[in-house]
Amino acid sequence: DVPAAGKVSTRFDLEKETELRFEVEAGEAAEQVELELLTGMAEVFGSELNRNKKYTFGAGSKIAVFTWQGCSVNLYGKPEVAYVSKDTPMLLYLNTHAALEQMRKQAERDNERGPRVMVVGPTDVGKSTVCRLLLSYAVRVGRRPTLVELDVGQSGVSVPGTVSALCIERPADVEEGFSVQAPLVYHFGSTTPGTNIKLYNKLTSCLAEVFSQRCEVNRKASVGGCIINTCGWVKGSGYQALVHCASAFQVDVVLVLDHERLYNELKRDLPHFVRVVLLPKSGGVVERSKECRRDARDEKIREYFYGFRGVSFYPFSFEVRFSDVRIYKIGAPSIPDSCLPLGMSQDDTQLKLVPVTPGRDLTYHVLSVSSAEDGEEGARKGIVESPVCGFIVVTYVDTQTQVMKVLSPAPRPLPRHTLLIMDIRFMDMK
């Protein structure tokens, strides 16, 4: 637990209701930074710090240590930046939590359902962070809220290109975030909803339906409600997707981060009983570059196969015969309306399963393993709406022998034989 020899240590004394913000340099060679709470109390995005424990943050981390009462902390190592700010919206976020908690209390009393909250705003305004904060505060007071992750670009739950739901049972770990056990995951296939908005909306509806069913049989889940994290695309179809989500989940509260026009539009377009609230973003939220985002996506896939921090996974590599699997892409390329077969609409083509003939170009693609029962034509129905049970990456394709090599978290054989191809690729550099 002793910091590495030679690491400089810097002490920060924080007054109440202030936060220490620091960033760890990005890149492979970056030195990790350790954080230790010396006196008082403090939290990182809603999770309390233990005193005299060293928390380690790796390359690219952007962290805020907030204190309600005042505290002193030490940083070991050389963060790229580190400064204390008095100007934080934490009090507003806490009040938001208090209001949601009131709604849960009322739901408990009146045998109703708890708040369903959608968090919206452009990219890099701290949506995921606000979700994490509200979820951690809720579990800390004994609730069991559900995180619904609709950000297909930067999913906090599963690999990119998916949407998912996760029951939250304990506060996020300071270093690692929420423990991801048994999430419900659906295949979307790309990092932006725009590539297939019909599919995106369909999957939102699937998640809403499963969540509602769970609420019917699980009172704690119902009272706990949900916090929905959304994509940063807030115009055109992206905006329509938010409106669709609000209606599918029958949300009660929409938190709009730092976007007045979006706030006004949602107020205008959502039913009057939906509470739309405008919240400021934190000055600490750091804008991330395209590369930074791509690296984060890559890292998420790497974690899926190889584990994270203390936990190492050892993935398997084996051959799969083309004849043993069926690979599909969801959505046919759009064609002019006039060319569509009689009785078919553009919607149908976006949700259509298009068989993929394995070839070299499959190499490095991430494939979702659908939980849909294996079967012929008839069983194809329902694949789009079936959750996935895992992911593999194609590492080599041999068209001569009609075999592909895959990276898989579990040994052969594959649990199911229906595979859905993602636009997303992963090159294994290990």
Residues near ligand ADP (CB under 6 A) are 21, 62, 64, 123-129, 232, 282, 284-286
Question: Shortest approach of ligand ADP to residue 409 CB, angstroms?
Answer: 25
- Cβ closest to ligand ADP, residue 126 vs residue 390: 126
Q: Which residues of 218-230 are buried (b: 16+ CB within 10 A; e: fewer)?
A: eeebbbbbbbbbb
Cα–Cα distance measured from residue 153 to residue 403, given in angstroms and rounded to the nearest whole number: 31
Q: How far is the CB of 132 from ligand ADP (least distance, A)?
A: 8
Residue nearer to ligand ADP on the CB measure, 40 or 283: 283
Q: Name the minimum Å distance from CB 85 to ligand ADP.
A: 8
Pick the closer one to ligand ADP by CB: 125 or 223.
125
Provide the minimum distance between the beta carbon of 123 and ligand ADP in the complex, in angstroms, as a whole number.
5
**How many CB atoms are closer than 10 A to CB 330?**
24
**Cβ of residue 363: shortest distance to ligand ADP, in angstroms?**
31
Q: How far is the CB of 354 from ligand ADP (least distance, A)?
A: 32
Judged by beta carbon, residue 26 or residue 366, the one nearer ligand ADP is 26
Q: Which is nearer to ligand ADP, 21 or 326 (CB)?
A: 21
Beta bridge partners of 40: 71
Q: What angle do CA 140, 146, 151 make, to 5 degrees?
A: 120
7, 58 contact by CB (below 8 A) = no
| Closest separation in Å from C-beta 35 to ligand ADP | 13
Which residue bears the tokens 């019917």? Answer: 216
Q: Bridge-partner residues for 152, per DSSP?
A: none
Which residue, 30 or 286, is less far from ligand ADP as judged by CB?
286
| 63 contact partners, CB below 8 Å, separation of at least 6 | 21, 22, 23, 24, 35, 44, 57
State residue 320 phi and psi, 5-degree precision. -125, 130
Residue of this chain nearest to ligand ADP (CB atom): 284
Phi, psi of 96 (to 5 degrees): -60, -45
CA angle 193/372/299 to nearest 5° reads 45
Of the pair 289, 338, the CB lying nearest ligand ADP is at 289
β-strand pairing of 418-425 with 326-330: parallel
Torsion of CA 231, 233, 238, 243, to 10 degrees: 60
> Least separation, in Å, of the C-beta of 14 and ligand ADP?
13
Of 64 and 203, CB closest to ligand ADP: 64
